[in-house]
């Protein structure tokens, strides 16, 4: 389900001098039909969003063990699952909500019988509780917020969509398991979604990149959030503060206010 190209969705022409807001331009990324049509056209040709595994390897490998049961959310046609397999992590299950995508990936990597592929919606995972040691996503959760007009004040609908997926991730993680989330979303935008006590995990993050930073968020199931993270999580969903009242000056005010200032 993750977007694989920086190109915007094709949209209708607008009136001269007017452009649709970014949220409207990106709306198609949240639509299952868009991805199904795209994968039927493109097949399983590898396409990456945010970059390949090597870009994040130094941050991810310390969190991985060779015998980990790994779940990749919204695999798309990324080579991430295959690269993990080749690096010595054989137990990798990859899901996507597009049947065309999963069919193409099964065919492309048929020579790797230990790689498992399944058509599944990350909002409603069918795996039993505590099924995985690691859940990994790269750019997939970003799709849940593509229609948001203001990243500082996420709508109740967007926050609920994120919470639903994160609750499922927490459910399928075993105690001590790790959730690894790779995104371009900066901490002040994304961390409040992860810093919810109900998920039962700790939270930390690291940045990578030179001119443009990407972020890897690492959550460990069974470890507590810090007090500062708990406070951050409580900010999610709060209405924005009311603007200060305007300052008015009487029209007949002719006093030199500088004379009234005591230095």
The structural domains of the chain, ordered by start, are 29-235 (3.40.50.150)
pTM score, whole prediction = 0.77
Give the whole-angstrom CA distance, residue 26 versus residue 145.
10
pLDDT tier, 17 (very low <50, low <70, confident <90, very high otherwise)? very low
CB 172 within 8 A of CB 127: yes
Among the listed ranges 49-58, 141-150, 224-233, 238-247, which one has the minimum average pLDDT value?
Answer: 238-247
- pLDDT score, position 129: 98
Contact 58, 37 (CB under 8 A): no
pLDDT at 13 over 50: no
Mean pLDDT of 92-105: 92
CA distances from 138 to 77, 150, 174 (A): 12, 22, 20
Q: How far is CA 233 from CA 162, 169, 185, 191, in A?
A: 13, 17, 16, 8
Are 133 and 71 in contact by the 8 Å Cβ rule? The answer is: no
30 pLDDT more than 60: no
What is the Cα–Cα distance from 145 to 151, expressed in whole angstroms? 8
210 has a pLDDT exceeding 80: no
């Amino acid at each position: 389900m993750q977007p694989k190209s920086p190109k915007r969705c094709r949209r209708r022409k607008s009136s001269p001098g007017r452009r649709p807001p970014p949220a409207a331009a990106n709306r198609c990324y949240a639509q299952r039909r868009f991805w199904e049509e795209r994968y039927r056209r493109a097949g399983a040709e590898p396409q990456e969003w945010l970059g390949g595994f090597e870009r994040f390897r130094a941050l991810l490998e310390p969190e991985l063990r060779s015998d980990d049961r790994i779940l990749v959310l919204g695999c798309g046609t990324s080579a991430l699952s295959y690269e993990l397999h080749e690096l010595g992590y054989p137990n990798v299950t990859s899901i996507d909500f597009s049947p065309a995508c999963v069919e193409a990936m099964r065919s492309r990597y048929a020579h790797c019988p230990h790689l498992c592929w399944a058509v599944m919606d990350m909002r409603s995972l069918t795996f039993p509780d505590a099924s995985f040691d690691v859940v990994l996503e790269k750019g997939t959760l970003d799709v849940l917020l593509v229609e948001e007009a203001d990243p500082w004040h996420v709508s109740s609908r967007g926050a609920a969509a994120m919470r639903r997926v994160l609750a499922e991730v927490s459910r399928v993680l075993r105690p001590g398991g790790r959730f690894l989330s790779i995104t371009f979303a900066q901490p002040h935008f994304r961390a409040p979604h992860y810093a919810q006590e109900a998920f039962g995990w700790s939270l930390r993050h690291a940045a990578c990149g030179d001119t443009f930073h990407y972020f890897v968020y690492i959550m460990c199931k069974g470890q507590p959030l810090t007090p500062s993270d708990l406070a951050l999580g409580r900010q999610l969903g709060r209405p924005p503060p009311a603007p200060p009242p305007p300052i008015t000056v009487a029209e007949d005010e002719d006093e030199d206010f500088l004379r009234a200032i005591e230095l």
